[in-house]
Amino acid sequence: MIRHAAKSNPPATLAELKLLVADISSGKSPIRLGGRALRTLASMVADPHHTAVFPIAALAESHQVNASTLTRLSQRLGYDGFTGLQQVFRRHVSHRDGFYSERAGRLTTADHQDPAVEMIRRIGAEEQGNIASMIEELNPMAVEAAAEIIASSPRVRVYGARQSASIAGFMAYALGMLRNDAALLESQHQGVAHGLAQLDKGDLLVLIGSAPYTRATAAAARVAAGQGIRLIAFTDSLASPLAVSADYTFITPTAGSFFSNCMASSAVLVEVLLSAVARRLERQAVAALNHHEALIEALDIQF
């Protein structure tokens, strides 16, 4: 359901459109969108290259809505039609000559292409596009600020459910190599409530999750914020329930042909942020890594 058309000029840039999505999600905007329409808009914003390239029929199919839904959505935002909305995305990516047309070409391989080769190239290209989109949208100042919080918070916990649990485990392990008191929130499968009970005001919780969101992850974001725990979110949209209360939100696109969410951009973001943390900790990080290596040698773990 979509209600109340925009009264003023519609967003002219992707940055303005992102702010509008956040305002609609939080209820600050006079524009009211139903849940499905808002999720569709947020997904389009999270993957601007895909939105810039494909015609309305293909986009509607990829978002599992009707083409008329995208037209009405565009009009509610204040555009004359879908073409006006799509121009925002096309202007955003046009400075990268040939990027989106090249990506579209990679995704539409020849009919006579070997199925295995076609699958490898298509999924590889999609993940490359997700990573490129994530990197392009990264704000260096936000990366440095988030790295400072990760490095300096008394305790850091990381949480992701289902598929995101693998990324959470990767981040908790790698961060634990750099500093003490960094771990998974749900350590030993003791539950989210038990994990949150171990945190105090000023501690940090990193939440990782994309649509379809789990109730546990969304609830953890809400409860942690209420306790004064700082939040960093890795998610697929500014309309995500993880983004509402987060101090810093990083968008990790998940679009692609894989039967579940594509996760490569999330893994790369972990590497980016923790590299910034290691640089910030400097000697402390080197000492921690040396200690880690000494323990591995003492335990005779590696061959």
What integer pLDDT is reported at residue 294 of this predicted model? Answer: 65
What's the confidence (pLDDT) of residue 100?
A: 46
Q: State residue 270's pLDDT score.
A: 95
What would the two tokens of residue 178 be? 């750099």
Alpha-helical regions (H) of 157-229: 164-176, 192-197, 215-226
* Long-range contacts (CB closer than 8 Å, 24 or more residues apart) made by 49-52: 49/89, 49/93, 49/99, 49/100, 49/103, 49/129, 49/132, 49/133, 50/129, 50/255, 51/86, 51/89, 52/86, 52/89, 52/90, 52/92, 52/93, 52/100
CA 98, CA 49: separation in Å to the nearest integer? 11
- Domains of the chain, with CATH numbers? 2-93 (1.10.10.10), 140-299 (3.40.50.10490)
Residue 5 confidence (pLDDT)? 46
Average pLDDT, 10 consecutive residues per value, the chain (303 residues): 56 86 84 87 81 82 88 92 88 60 50 72 84 86 94 93 91 89 78 81 93 84 90 87 88 81 92 92 68 66 64
Sign of the CA dihedral running 132, 134, 138, 144: negative
Strand residue runs (E) in the chain: 2-3, 32-33, 156-160, 182-184, 204-208, 230-235, 248-251
Omega before residue 253 within 30° of 0, cis: no
How far is Cα 93 from Cα 48, in angstroms, rounded to an integer? 8
Residue 27 pLDDT: 81
Tracing tokens 């047309």 back to the chain, one arrives at 101
Name the token pair of 255: 């679009």
Closest CA to 48 of 223, 289, 186, 251: 251
| pLDDT given for residue 4 in this prediction | 46
Per-residue model confidence (pLDDT) at position 2: 46
Task: For residue 135, give the amino acid letter.
Answer: I
User: What is the spatial distance between Cα 163 and Cα 169, in angstroms, rounded to a whole number?
Assistant: 11
* pLDDT on residue 255: 78
Which tokens go with 130? 């997700």
- Check: pTM over 0.95? Answer yes or no: no
- Is the separation of the CB atoms in 206 and 147 below 8 Å? no
DSSP per-residue codes, 127-174: HHHHHHHHHHH--HHHHHHHHHHHHHSS-EEEEE-TTHHHHHHHHHHH
